[in-house]
Chain A
Amino acid sequence: MSETFLSIQGVRKAFGQTTVVKDFNLEVARGEFVSFLGPSGCGKTTMLRMVAGFEEPTAGRIMIGGKDVTNLKPNQRNIGMVFQAYALFPNLTVSQNIGFGLKVAGASKAEITDRVKEMLSIIKLEGFGDRYPYQLSGGQQQRVALARALAPKPKILLLDEPLSALDAKVRISLREEIRAIQKKLDITTIFVTHDQEEALSMSDRIVVMYDGKAEQVGTPFEIYNRPSTKFVANFVGTLNVLDGTVVDPATATVRINDRDISLKKGQLNGAKAGDVLSLALRPEAIVLGKQDGRDTNLGGQISDVSFLGSVIRVRVGLGKNAVSLDTFNSPASPPPVVGERTEISFSSDDLLVLH
């Protein structure tokens, strides 16, 4: 990883008695796209607003490009920010909105015109310069907001749930567009979202936040496949949790229902025989019926079948445990039937012990 550009060191934020951000540490490299992912109230927006300068940290410091900005006002930090509700100035045209940052900085008219033109072409809204915000769709407004934030060439781009107010279709296309522009301009970006799909698809790294703390920091691949806590595993993706009793710590053997299963070594973390563990298993790691290459199978009964189009989600009861799994829809074979006895198989390597 290249040099650190944004550094958040031991930041804490309390409003009166409630602490909303607890000891937050993060190093972001130049040009990196980092998402803060978490449920509402987890402190992700407060953390972002401290980077922007709207909130003052109770403790800790924030450095941008090696400079301590903790006590700087927002308008001295040279950052670009995009808000959930667009926040375009209604009395200014698209061009005037984009040129706002340059104008307040005292740039020349020619300079502003050139830059606005360039930004309009980047967001593919050439010819919309003279419109007013209310004449644009939500997606267009958000692209203008992005251009406005980027026009003064900020050091850091902050995106506060910029897609949540948009329709599903627009959301996905804008997601790709934002990522493409970010890569093209190579700008360090913090993206706040509660939507795991957005975070997984756009980010270089994700910070999963819960209750004011960073639960896990990692690439989308790591976060999804190797969640380090129960919260992360539950919040990111759909997850099955099975109860397993430790049989023999030495061989990492646990018992699920009536079957002894050997886990990958080093996962038990000092659990003793008789301890009950939560074992996570992604739906896509399970198949219906017996299959070669998967060492474990359990018997159960189908309790629910939902047809989702290309896939069929099946819920299988396994004694006191239950799992969901996905099978591909195939016109040739009839879908599973509720009440049917069945068997599921998976690879014991995919079982993940949650702490």
Chain B
Amino acid sequence: MTDATFSDPAAARQSVPPARAGGLRLPLQWLGVAPFFIFALMFLIFPTFYLVVGAFQNDQGEFTLANIASLLQPSILAAYWISIRVSLASAVLGALAGLAISIAIVRGGLPRWVRSATMTFSGVASNFAGVPLAFAFLATLGRLGLVTVLLRTWFDINIYGLGFNILSFAGLTLTYLFFQIPLMVVIITPAIDGLKKEWGEAAATLGATQVQFWRMVVIPVLWPSFLGTVILLFANAFGAIATAYALTGSSLNIVPILLYAQIRGDVLHNPHLGYALAFGMIFITGLANVFYIWFRTRSERWLK
């Protein structure tokens, strides 16, 4: 339908001057974006909404807070807690490491090829997640992994004897860093580029030390994009399941894995508790997103 309208040259020519196309043609204008909105509603917003509503209903379809209350049972709380810890740790560590690498390649006076190689690699690694990533880390730091074996034979260090386990909080965090750090590099490098060399020179001529310049200009300028990216990385890790599932099976009890098991086999014996579990995930990432938007607008207040 919409296509037919738009391919009619006569209609198109009538609506040429955008100024005149305003009020009268409003419904026709909306036809242009209708497919997008219908798609978004049907396959993004309604399905999510369906779960959110379900989280507040009992089997009879009546309103209840019982499902949300059931989230407070120890095993589910523990799942949320470890998910938040892994996501937060990998987001913060990934952001700091990514920031350091970004500053090094933009500001460190390294040859040009270092920067372009790093950016290319980051583009690849930030998209290298999921099951294969888990394989790579099992081959590296698993019980028979190359690094594990070399540390044992060369330096007589048995990392598993020291309490390390790839199937743990530390192991999962270390694995997630493989896509978190590059994602940070990809996102934050433009922001570092935005730090003008002249700012540093202006600060120097005004008598500021490097430390003063960083404290008064660099950190305040970078802070919103840094924090915004941390939150994005957090959401990125919080919803990830494939890596963790392939790495640990279901031995590590994080929320996405719990939800996965619930969808497959109703392990919680209450469909509405599954909805509540999903609602909890959206709630946490949504909360993070509110911060993200807030910091974005702050960042934009300064930078144009």
Residues of chain A whose beta carbon lies under 8 Å from any beta carbon of chain B: 52-54, 73-81, 83, 85, 87, 89-92, 100-101, 103-105, 132, 134, 145, 148-149, 152, 154, 158
Contacts and interface: CB of A to CB of B under 8 A. Distances in A.
B225 to A, nearest CB: 12
Contact of B206 (A54, A100, A134, A158): A100
A87 B204 contact: no
A87 B196 contact: yes
A89 B200 CA distance: 10
Given A132-B301, A134-B302, A52 B205 contact: yes
A75 B207 contact: yes
Contacts of A158: 205
Contact of B205 (A80, A90, A92): A80
B199 interface: yes
Nearest to B221: A91
Contact of B217 (A54, A91, A101): A91
A89 B208 contact: no
Contacts of B212: 104
Interface residues of B, number: 21
B199 A73 contact: no
Contacts of A90: 221, 302-303
A306 B2 CA distance: 57
B304 A134 contact: yes
Q: Majority SS of interface residues in chain B? A: helix
Contacts of A83: 198, 201-202
25 contacts: A73-B204, A74-B201, A75-B205, A75-B207, A75-B209, A79-B205, A80-B205, A81-B202, A83-B198, A83-B202, A87-B198, A87-B202, A89-B203, A90-B221, A91-B220, A100-B203, A104-B208, A104-B216, A132-B301, A132-B302, A148-B202, A149-B202, A149-B206, A152-B206, A152-B207
Given A75-B208, A91-B217, A91-B220, A85 B201 contact: no
Q: Which of B205, B217, B301, B303 has most A Cβ within 10 Å?
A: B205
B53 to A, nearest CB: 43
Q: When A and B form their complex, which 3 residue pairs have the shortest distance between CB atoms, in order from nearest?
A: A87-B198, A101-B206, A74-B204
Contacts of B217: 89, 91-92
